[in-house]
Amino acid sequence: MHVLILGGTAEARRLAELLTAPAVPGRTVTSSLAGRVAAPRLPPGEVRIGGFGGAEGLAGWLVRERVDVLVDATHPFAGTMSFHAAGAARTAGVPLVALRRPGWEAVDGDDWRSAGSLAEAAALLPSLGSRVFLTTGRTGLAAFTGRPELDALWFLVRSVDPPEPPVPRRMDVLLDRGPFALDGERALLAAHRIDVLVTKDSGGRATAPKLTAAREAGVPVVVVRRPPVPDGVPVVAGPEEAAHWVTGRMAA
């Protein structure tokens, strides 16, 4: 049996661990990484890096490699890849499940503003602060450029790899990879005099301490809503649940 995990997340790595240990004769687990991070943390099992060439290319790969189960464990904001996976699974007749960590939920004391896109998030910033902690990754930074009111802001951009232009006019880059500790996030907000935070609703614990630090400091947070999972695709919330779903399909 062959399982393909569309990965790049901590949950995808954990799922690969669950499906490869202990080893099961005749079971192949392949994790596919997009290749956007220079030095990714590789999961156990087989690994392929790079795109498939859209839904059609992925469908062809599923057929050629005799994939029995497909797991979309990509980042919650990898919306295009999720729709490609859904289309490819239909074409190839392969069962598909989406592994999505739950989104964050505001608690008492949080000052959150919801945005449907990076552009909407950028439009909110001038009324909220002038020193922005931008934790949306190295792509999409063009949304925070090109307008005088945005050029007047200062941005601290945190990402795993260096961002490429176009980027905000006034910007410092912090290269770092989670998980992040609460004490470190508190110190970062204070040292850079951050007065507004921008994040995607990625969920999970690895990067959640920034939200606690912002709440404690009274810093407003702009939260970009995640795109929907394609219609008809079942969703599980954790690697253990995904592993149970996969093994159930393999035993059928």
Scanning the chain, the segments in alpha helix (DSSP H) are: 10-20, 54-64, 79-92, 118-124, 148-151, 182-191, 209-217, 239-251
- Whether 107 maps to a domain, the answer reads no
Look at residue 38 in the predicted model and tell me its pLDDT.
66
pLDDT value at 35 more than 80: no
Quick one: 152 and 210 in the same domain?
yes
Strands 235-236 and 131-135: unpaired
pLDDT band at 78 (very low <50, low <70, confident <90, very high): confident
172 within domain boundaries: yes
Q: Same domain for 116 and 219?
A: yes
Helix (H) or strand (E) holding 135: strand 131-135
Model confidence pLDDT, tens digit, residues 178-193: 899 999 999 999 999 9
- Which H or E run contains 89? helix 79-92
Q: What CATH number is given to the structural domain containing 175?
A: 3.40.50
Can you give the residue range of the structural domain that contains 180? 112-224
Give yes or no: residues 135 and 207 share one domain: yes
In a shared domain, residues 120 and 59: no
Average of per-residue pLDDT across 132-155: 95
Do both 118 and 220 map to the same domain? yes
Please state, in angstroms and rounded to a whole number, the distance separating the CA atoms of residues 161 and 210. Answer: 19
pTM: 0.86
Query: Same domain, yes or no, for 13 and 43?
Result: yes
Residues 218 and 136 in one domain: yes
Residues 8 and 68 in one domain: yes
Tokens 């890849």 appear where?
Answer: 81
Shared domain check, 122 and 40? no
